[in-house]
Amino acid sequence: MTPKRFLLILWFLAILAIVPCSNVDAWTTIGNGIEYQEFTTPDPNRLFVCRMARDNPNAVIDTTLANGYVKGGNTQIVRYQASLYDDAITWWGQSWGARNRVICAINGDFFNSNGITGGQCQSGWYVKRFGDWGGYSGFGWNIDRVPFFGGCVYHKPSDQIIRYVSTGATQQFHGINIARGTNQLIIYTHHYSATTPPATSGAEVLVELTRPLLIVKDPSHVQGYVRAIWQNSGSHYIPFDHIILSADGTAATTLLNNVSIGSEVRISQYPTDYNQPDTNGQNGCAYATGLDWSKPFAAVGVNYRFLENGVVRPPDPSHSGYAGLIVRNPRTAIAYNNQYIFFIVCDGRSSQSVGMTMTELGNWCKTVLGATDGHNLDGGGSSTMVIRDPNTGVLTVKNNPSDGTERAVANGVVMLNIMPKMQSATFGPGATVQTNTAGTNVRIGPGTNFTVMASLAKNTAGTVVEHSLNGVYAKGYYWWKVDFGTVTGWVAESLLSSTPSAPTVIQHPSSVDSCVGGTATFR
């Protein structure tokens, strides 16, 4: 046998080793523009893949948070995270009110007791910053349906600003949904926790936004209006379409000097993207790439880019997770080409499925799926894929997590279909209502996925507050924003009844003189 013929045979056997036994074309439709397939390889390995058509306007990528919060210590299995966001309102289409229908879900970023280790965008909100100068940032999906992979990022202080329109002043803010430090201004969104942290000093300002806290670079901005001002206190609830500006020391003084009830504020924030390290772990963060980070709808942290522009990238020895990247483990990944976004889970640590190295995963995604770019998410016992069963409609785990059961994780990534906005016209702005059930929950937003602010007694009276989402349908109910005097928030329509109005005299009768015992007729 000639050396050339021998090399051809070796190449053919290598291809056979990664080509699945199942039919590559045997995709099952599980949603509008979303398909699912299971694969096997001779290693052996079992892989589970969802793919989403990039050109289908009703198929969307978003992220999830354990229990709805980014604060450290929150974990929840992927199936429950998917259920939490299923039928909840979304900002897709650049307005609130449409609803999610979760079709496929996977676990997300690496995490520890302090929460996710990377950054995250959820339904347009920048809920946690990606770390500065970290080498890698994350996978993103912007409002124009374009996927991207961020490199090493840096939040230049001059790009993280709040502009006070009435005074013309600007102020730097120092973070999102993290603990407030000395002389710092931090922005809190409803994704942080039920309330802002406790405080006995400084200032907090409640701002109602016209859209989510997007990543936009000055002069672009997110517009908001001041609704409340507090001093020397914390633990304030954050309504779903609001933020709280929380400031300490000199930052609090600047904040208070520039706000008043009803005044307009404008928030701009932007990470500058720099190059990722090369495959030897060198030369990272050396120059700006020009990647546009404007308006990601969803973004999740990753720790390695194993496939770039059709080229498999072997793990670099300087990577902090190098030892875990070069051995076979369960894997979760996101990949894409110009037609599809792929969610991939590979089982591991068993005789039925041994797992993959980064290089094996890159070769498989490139050869079998036709992916051009791929990114590694948290793996091991965290690796989980959930799909909506096309026959039952139930969100179901498809792989076999290596822990033997689903691991609770900090966040996830989902493929969605978008359901249209629906609204009730039962009440109108200014309508008087009362609770008809003991223990009526008042929430920070329209949906059972939002935090409960208060629980009210039966027959508690309130007034419907004007809001564009009044009567919106989400999580099985229609919702109304109601002011009860001591608390204002969202209540399910089924827990409210109209309060009869007092009779109104529309015409007074004319005076009539009559003797005692006589008859008087009023007209």
The CATH number covering residue 475 comes to 2.30.30.40
Given this model, what pLDDT does residue 351 score?
97
Q: Do residue 188 and residue 264 come from a single domain? A: yes
Given this model, what pLDDT does residue 282 score?
85
The 8-class DSSP code of residue 276 comes to P
Q: Tell me, yes or no, whether 512 lies in a domain.
A: no
**Number of folded domains in the chain?**
3
Confidence of residue 321 (pLDDT cuts 50, 70, 90): confident
Dump pLDDT digits (tens) for 234-272.
999 999 999 999 999 999 999 999 999 999 999 999 999
Given this model, what pLDDT does residue 15 score?
45
Confidence of residue 504 (pLDDT cuts 50, 70, 90): low
Higher pLDDT, 15 or 242: 242
Radius of gyration of the chain (CA): 28
Q: Tell me, yes or no, whether 105 lies in a domain.
A: yes
Of 27, 34, 47, 141, the C-alpha closest to 398 is 47
Q: Do residue 487 and residue 409 come from a single domain? A: no
Q: Tell me, yes or no, whether 78 lies in a domain.
A: yes
Q: Do residue 394 and residue 346 come from a single domain? A: yes
- Using the predicted structure, report yes or no on whether residue 459 has a pLDDT greater than 60: yes
**Residue-range definition of the domain harbouring residue 482:** 432-498
Dmax over CA atoms of the chain, in Å, equals 135
Q: Do residue 263 and residue 162 come from a single domain? A: yes
Q: Tell me, yes or no, whether 351 lies in a domain.
A: yes
Q: Do residue 260 and residue 344 come from a single domain? A: no
Given this model, what pLDDT does residue 346 score?
99
Q: Do residue 179 and residue 218 come from a single domain? A: yes
Q: Tell me, yes or no, whether 8 lies in a domain.
A: no
Q: Do residue 450 and residue 351 come from a single domain? A: no
pLDDT average, residue stretch 428-455 = 98
Q: Do residue 295 and residue 224 come from a single domain? A: no
Euclidean distance between CA atoms 341 and 242, whole angstroms: 32
Residues 6+ apart with CB under 8 A from 157: 172
Q: Do residue 144 and residue 31 come from a single domain? A: yes
Q: Tell me, yes or no, whether 220 lies in a domain.
A: yes
Q: Do residue 144 and residue 178 come from a single domain? A: no
Given this model, what pLDDT does residue 19 score?
45
Provide, rounded to the nearest whole percent, the portion of the chain with pLDDT above 70: 91
Euclidean distance between CA atoms 40 and 487, whole angstroms: 56
Q: What is the mean pLDDT of the chain?
A: 93
Residue 256 identity: L
Euclidean distance between CA atoms 11 and 30, whole angstroms: 36
Q: Tell me, yes or no, whether 65 lies in a domain.
A: yes
Q: Do residue 491 and residue 460 come from a single domain? A: yes
Using alpha carbons, list the distances in angstroms from residue 281 to 135, 203, 288, 321, 497.
9, 44, 17, 12, 64
Extract the tokens encoding 291.
């990647």
Cα dihedral 324/328/332/333 (nearest 10): 80
Euclidean distance between CA atoms 486 and 472, whole angstroms: 23
Q: Do residue 105 and residue 168 come from a single domain? A: no
Q: Establish whether the linkage from the previous residue to 317 is cis, with ω within 30° of 0.
A: no
Q: Tell me, yes or no, whether 520 lies in a domain.
A: no
State which of 391, 419, 447 marks the end of a domain.
419
Least confident of 37-46, 177-186, 507-516: 507-516
Share of the chain residues as helix, strand and coil, in percent rounded to the nearest 5: 10, 40, 50
